Structure 1
Amino acid sequence: MRAYIQRRLLQFLPVVLGICILNFILIQAAPGDLAEVVAAESAQVEGAIVEDQVARLRASYGLDAPLHMQLLAYLGRLATFDLGYSHRFGEPVAKLVADRVGATALLGLTSLVLAVVIGVLLGAVCARWRNSRLDRAVSALMALCYSVPVFWLALMMVVLFGVTLQWFPIDGMRDVGRAGEDGWAQVRDVLWHLVLPATTLAVYSIAVYARFTRASMVDALQEDYIRTARSKGLSEPVVVFRHALRNAILPVLTLIGGHFGELLAGSIVIETVFSWPGLGKLTYDAVVNRDTNLLLSILFLSSLLVMATSLLLDILYAALDPRIELRK
C-alpha cells in the first residue's frame, strides 16, 4: 500500500507541472492584465488612462518581466509552497484561499452528499422496478434535471423561494443581525442559507448519479450471485441493497472523483448568484480583476484536489472489492 501511494505521488509531479504551465500560458494569452484594470478604475475618477501609469503599475506588480521569467518565478514560488500575493485584494493568496475554502467545502460537500444519497437511491429503486411506471416517471424527471442549465435553475430558485415565497434567504452565508446569538443559532442560520445553493448545485448531479446507478444496477441484478442470494431465501431488500448495490456502486465512485473536478466550476455560478463567500466567488472576482496570482493558485489547488481524490478512490476500490489489488 505504501509503495503504491509513493509511486502515485511521484506520477503526480509531472502532471502538476504540466497543469501549472498550461494554466499560466492560457491566462497570459487572454487580453489585458491587472495593471490595465487598476488603471481603468483610476481613470474613471481622474480622467483618461495614462500609459505611464500602466507601465508603473506593471513594474510594481512584476508584469513587465518576460513571460518565461514570470513563469519561472511562479514555479519557484510553488516549489517553496508560496502562493504569492494578491495585489488586487492586498493580501497573501494563501490567506484569501484559507478564508474562503471553508464556505466552498461546506457547499460542495453538502451538495455532493445530497446528490450521491438521493441519486443512488433513486437509481437503485428504478433498477429494481425496471420499466415500471415509477421507473419511467423518475427517468423523465432525471432527464429534466439533467437538461436544465444551472444558472437558470439558480435564478428560478431565487425568484420562487427567495423573492415570491420568501422561504429561504438568497444572499450570503449568514444573517448579519444574528452575529451576537449563541452558537447553535448561528449554525441554524448558516444551514438555512445553505438550502438553496446546495440544492441547486445538487440537482444536476442527482440526475447523473441516478442514471448511472440504474444502468449499473440493472447489470448487477442479472448476475449469478444475485440468483444465488435469492435462492437462499434472502429478502429482496437485502438482495438489492446489500449484494447488488455493493457491487454496482463501484463504477459510481468514479463519478464522485470527477465530481470534485467539476465542483469549482459549478460553485462559481452558484456562489455568484447567491453571493456565497467561497472560492467560486473568489475565482469570479479574480477573473474579472485579472488577478493572475490568485487565479493561478486556485486552479493549482483545484488540480491537487482532483488528483488526491483519484488516489483516495483507488484505495477505496481495493477496500470495497477484494478482487482489486493495488500493485507496486
Structure 2
Amino acid sequence: MLASTGVRIAKMAAVIVAVAIFNFFLVHSAPGDPALVIAGQSGATDEAFLERVRADYGLDKPLVVQLGTYLKKIVTFDLGYSHRQQRPITEVIAERLGPTLLLTGTAFVISLLGGVALGAMAGVRAGKFSDTVITILSLIVYATPVFWLGIMLVLLFSVQLGWLPPFGYQTVASGFEGWALWLDRARYLVLPAMTLGLLYLAIYARLMRASIIEVSHQDYVKTARAKGANESRVLWRHMLRNALLPVVTMAGVQAGTLVGGSVVIETVFAWPGLGRLTYEAVLQRDYQLLLGIFLVLSILVSIFNLLTDLLYRVVDPRIRAV
C-alpha cells in the first residue's frame, strides 16, 4: 500500500506541474498587455514607465524564459506578488483559503450524509410514497439553478423570517472571540453551505437509491435474508457498504469541483473565499494572482483524488488484493 501511495503521489506531482504549465500559457494567451494594467493603476502610461514595468515583472523576456522563472518560483512556494492587492500572493491566498475550505467542507458533509441517508431510504422503499417524494424533490433541486436557489433561501430565511444573515462571513466589528466568534460565523455559514450542498445532495441521493436497488438483488443479500437476518442488519452489514462504492467515486471527483466551483455561491453570499477572489482577479486582470489560485486549486483537487483512492481501499477490501 505504501508503494502504491508513493506512485500515486509521484503521478500527482507530475499532473500538478502539467496543469501549472497549461495554466501559464492559458493566462498569457489572454488579450491585452499586463504592463498596461499595472501602469494604469499607477497613473502613468508613458512608454518609458511601461518598459520599466515590463523589466520589473519580467514581461520583457521570452515566454519560455518567463515559464522557467515561474516554475522555479513555485518549487520554493513563491507565487509572486499581486500588483492589485499590493501583497505577496501566498498571503492573499492563505487568507482566503480558510473560508473556502470551511464552506466547501460543510457543504460536502451535508450533501454526502444527506444524500446517502435519503438515497438509502428511497432505495429500500422503492416504489412507495416516500421513494416518490424523495425522487421528485431530488429532481427539482438538481434542475434548479444554484444562484436562484441561493437567492430564494435568502428571501425566505433572511428577509421574510429574519432567522439568518443574508451575506458575509461574520458580524463586522463584533469583537467576538473564541466560541462566540465561531457561533457567529456558523450563522453566516448556514445559507451558503445549504445552497452549495443541496445540489450535490440531490445527485448523491439519486445515485445511492439506484445503487441500493441494484445491490438488493445480489445473491449475498438474498442469502442473508434466508438465514433470518432482519432488514436493519441486512441494510447496514450487507447492502450499505457495497452500495457506497459509486457514491464514494462520485464524491471524490466532485470534492475538487466543490472547491473550484464555489465562485457563484461566494459571489451571491459575499463569502470571502477563493471563488470570489478568482472572480475579482479576472475583473482586475491580475494574472499572477490567477496563476496562484489555479495552482492551489489543482493541488487541492489532486489531494482529494488521492484521498478518494485511499478511502476506496477502506470501503472495498477487494482493491487491497490487486
The TM-score bracket by the shorter chain reads over 0.9
User: Would the alpha carbon gap of residues 157 and 34 (structure 1) be closer, same or farther in structure 2, given more than 3 Å must change?
Assistant: farther
Pairing 1:105-254 to 2, within 5 Å after superposition: 105-179=101-175, 181-254=176-249
Q: Tell me the amino acid that sits aligned with residue 69 of structure 2.
A: A
Q: Which residue of 2 aligns with 1:6?
A: 6
After alignment, is 60-69 or 299-308 more displaced? 60-69
User: Would the alpha carbon gap of residues 184 and 196 (structure 1) be closer, same or farther in structure 2, given more than 3 Å must change?
Assistant: same
Q: Tell me the amino acid that sits aligned with residue 111 of structure 1.
A: A
CA contact (8 A) 1:257 1:306 kept: no
Q: Which residue of 1 aligns with 2:74?
A: 78
What is the CA-CA distance between 1:276 and the residue it aligns to? 0.9
Q: Tell me the amino acid that sits aligned with residue 284 of structure 1.
A: Y
Q: Tell me the amino acid that sits aligned with residue 114 of structure 2.
A: I
Tell me the TM-score normalised to structure 1 length: 0.91
Paired residues in the alignment total: 322
Can you list the C-alpha shifts for 1:26-84, whole angstroms capped at 9, x where unaligned? 111122354333445566xx9xx655554443333332322222111111112222222
Q: Tell me the amino acid that sits aligned with residue 139 of structure 1.
A: T
Q: Which residue of 2 aligns with 1:32?
A: 32
Q: Could you tell me how far apart the structure 2 residues matched to 1:313 and 1:239 are?
A: 26
After alignment, is 53-62 or 281-290 more displaced? 53-62
Q: Tell me the amino acid that sits aligned with residue 175 of structure 1.
A: T
Give unpaired runs (5+ residues) of structure 2: none
Tell me the TM-score normalised to structure 2 length: 0.93
Q: Residue 68 of structure 1: which of 57, 64, 73 is its match?
A: 64
Q: Residue 295 of structure 1: which of 286, 290, 293 is its match?
A: 290
Q: Could you tell me how far apart the structure 2 residues matched to 1:132 and 1:193 are?
A: 37
What is the CA-CA distance between 1:326 and the residue it aligns to? 6.3
Q: Could you tell me how far apart the structure 2 residues matched to 1:154 and 1:35 are?
A: 38
CA contact (8 A) 1:123 1:212 kept: yes
Q: CA RMSD in A?
A: 2.0
Name the SS of the counterpart of 2:95 in structure 1.
helix
Can you list the C-alpha shifts for 1:133-179, whole angstroms capped at 9, x where unaligned? 22122111111111111122222223332233322112221102422
What is the CA-CA distance between 1:182 and the residue it aligns to? 4.4
Q: Could you tell me how far apart the structure 2 residues matched to 1:98 and 1:36 are?
A: 28
Q: Tell me the amino acid that sits aligned with residue 260 of structure 2.
A: A
Q: Tell me the amino acid that sits aligned with residue 172 of structure 2.
A: V
